[in-house]
Chains A and B, each alone.
Chain A
Amino acid sequence: MPNLTLSCHRIVKGYGEGQALLSKDPICFCTADPKTGVIRERGHQLMGKSVAAKVLIFPSGKASSAVQMDGLCKLMLNNTMPNAMVVADVEPVLVSAAALLKVPLVDRLKRDPFEVIEAGDIVKVDATNGVVTVVKPA
Chain B
Amino acid sequence: MFLSKEEEAMLKGDHGAGSQKAMELLVAIGEAFDAPKMIPVTRAHAASSGQEGDLFFVEMLAKGGARCKIPTTTNPVVNFEYFQNIIDISEEHAEASVAWKVKQHYKEIGAIMSQSCIPYLAENIPQYGEHVAFSESSATPYVNSVIGAFTNRESIQTALAAGVIGETPEFGLHLKENRKGTVLVKVKTHLRNGYDYSILGQYVGKKVGNGIPVFDGIGKRPSIDQYINLCAMLNVPGAIPMFYIPGFTVDAETLDDAFAGNHPQDVIEVTDRDMKQTIEELQTTSGDVDLVMLGCPHYNLDQLGVVAKLLDGKRLRPNVSVWINTSETTKTMADRAGYVKVLENAGANLVTDTCIDMFCFNNMKGKTGMTDSPKCAYYRRFGNVRVGSVEECIAAAVE
B196 within 8 A of A: no
B152 within 8 A of A: yes
Of the candidates A65, A67, A68, A74, which one forms a contact with B154 in the assembled complex, judged by CB atoms under 8 Å apart?
A65
A65-B155, A92-B155 as given contacts; A11 in contact with B57, CB under 8 Å: no
Within 8 A of A (CB), among B31-79: 31-33, 47, 49, 51-54, 56-57
Q: Please determine whether A65 and B153 come into contact, CB atoms closer than 8 angstroms.
A: yes
- Nearest-neighbour CB distance to chain A for B10, whole angstroms, equals 16
Of the candidates A71, A96, A101, A105, which one forms a contact with B155 in the assembled complex, judged by CB atoms under 8 Å apart?
A96
Among A62, A68, A95, A99, residue most surrounded by chain B Cβ atoms (within 10 Å):
A99
- Nearest-neighbour CB distance to chain A for B137, whole angstroms, equals 6
Q: Give the size range of A's interface with the partner.
A: 20 to 34
Residue of A nearest to B235 (CB): A64
Q: Please determine whether B153 and A100 come into contact, CB atoms closer than 8 angstroms.
A: no
Question: A6–B154 Cα gap in the complex (Å)?
Answer: 31
**Which residues from B are CB-within-8-Å of A11?**
31-32
Residue of B nearest to A105 (CB): B32
**Which residues from A are CB-within-8-Å of B236?**
64
Question: A87–B33 Cα gap in the complex (Å)?
Answer: 14
**Which residues from B are CB-within-8-Å of A93?**
153-155, 239
B25 within 8 A of A: yes
**Which residues from A are CB-within-8-Å of B154?**
65, 92-93
Q: Please determine whether B49 and A12 come into contact, CB atoms closer than 8 angstroms.
A: no
**Which residues from A are CB-within-8-Å of B156?**
65-66, 69
User: Chain A contact residues: over half helix, strand or loop, or mixed?
Assistant: helix
- Nearest-neighbour CB distance to chain A for B291, whole angstroms, equals 23
Q: Give the size range of B's interface with the partner.
A: 20 to 34
Within 8 A of A (CB), among B187-243: 210, 235-236, 239
Of the candidates A60, A73, A95, which one forms a contact with B56 in the assembled complex, judged by CB atoms under 8 Å apart?
A73
Question: A69–B153 Cα gap in the complex (Å)?
Answer: 14
Question: A60–B25 Cα gap in the complex (Å)?
Answer: 19
Interface string of A44-69 (1 = CB under 8 A from B): 00000000000000001011111111
**Which residues from B are CB-within-8-Å of A73?**
52-53, 56
Q: Please determine whether B157 and A62 come into contact, CB atoms closer than 8 angstroms.
A: no
Q: Please determine whether A95 and B53 come into contact, CB atoms closer than 8 angstroms.
A: no
Closest 8 CB pairs of A and B: A70-B53, A69-B53, A66-B49, A99-B28, A73-B53, A96-B155, A11-B32, A65-B155
Interface residues of B (CB under 8 A from A): 24-25, 28-29, 31-33, 47, 49, 51-54, 56-57, 135-137, 152-159, 172, 210, 235-236, 239
Given contacts A10-B31, A93-B153, A96-B29, 11 further A-B contacts (CB under 8 A): A11-B31, A64-B236, A65-B155, A68-B53, A69-B53, A69-B56, A71-B53, A74-B52, A77-B52, A92-B154, A93-B155
